[in-house]
């Protein structure tokens, strides 16, 4: 089995989707302009999707006050420091930088709506291509 998507109930799904597309290079693959304003965004490899939606019967989690280790979106970054500065200029807020003994650099930010996002430059990449099962 493979992941298809992670869905997040957010206050402003259309605005959030536009921000992620503009500043993190995600591509909109499906967009609903009426409630629940569902938007699916694909990563640059097209292998993972994130879904933003606004489901009125359910409360939007308090992302801005949650510990970022409870929930965050993690992105591979070749230059986390440069991406951090660029995203802060675009409205993100800084949380912390972590440098691990294996050479990994992790930068934790919050998007303009408070959802935690992490920029990852791993000392040893964790993502890999798996053989296709026939």
Q: How open is the CA angle 81-42-13, to the nearest 5 degrees?
A: 85
- pLDDT for the residue 83: 98
Flag whether pLDDT at 130 surpasses 80.
Answer: no
User: Residue 23's pLDDT band (boundaries 50, 70, 90)?
Assistant: very high
Average pLDDT, integer, range 16-38: 97
Q: Choose the weakest-confidence range: 42-46, 57-61, 79-83.
A: 57-61
Contacts of 33 (CB under 8 A, 6+ apart): 14
- pLDDT for the residue 124: 86
pTM above 0.85, yes or no: yes
User: Residue 125's pLDDT band (boundaries 50, 70, 90)?
Assistant: confident
Residues 82 and 90 sit within 8 Å (Cβ to Cβ): no
**Strand 5-9 to 49-53 pairing:** parallel
Q: Which domains does the chain have, with CATH numbers?
A: 1-58 (3.30.720.120), 61-126 (3.10.180.10)
Spatial distance between the Cα atoms of 99 and 38, rounded to a whole number of angstroms? 36
Flag whether pLDDT at 77 surpasses 80.
Answer: yes
Q: Mean of the per-residue pLDDT values for the chain? A: 93
Task: Pick 133 or 89 by higher pLDDT.
Answer: 89
Please give the helix or strand (H or E) that residue 8 lies within, else none. Answer: strand 5-9
Flag whether pLDDT at 134 surpasses 90.
Answer: no
User: Strand pairing partners for 76?
Assistant: 120
Contacts of 130 (CB under 8 A, 6+ apart): none
The alpha-helical segments, DSSP class H, found in 57-110 are 80-89
- Torsion (CA) 30, 107, 59, 38 in degrees, nearest 10: 0
Flag whether pLDDT at 38 surpasses 70.
Answer: yes
């Amino acid at each position: 089995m493979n992941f298809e998507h992670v869905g997040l109930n957010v206050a402003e799904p259309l605005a959030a989707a536009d921000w992620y597309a503009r500043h993190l290079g995600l591509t909109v693959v499906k967009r609903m302009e009426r409630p629940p304003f569902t938007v699916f965004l694909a990563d640059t490899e097209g292998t993972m999707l994130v879904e933003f939606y606004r489901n009125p019967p359910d409360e939007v989690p308090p992302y801005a006050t949650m510990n970022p280790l409870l929930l965050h979106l993690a992105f591979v970054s070749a230059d986390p420091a440069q991406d951090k500065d660029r995203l802060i200029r675009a409205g993100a807020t800084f949380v912390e930088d972590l440098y691990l003994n294996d050479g990994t650099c992790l930068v934790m930010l919050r998007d303009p709506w408070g959802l935690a996002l992490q920029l990852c430059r791993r000392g040893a990449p964790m993502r890999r291509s798996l053989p296709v099962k026939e």
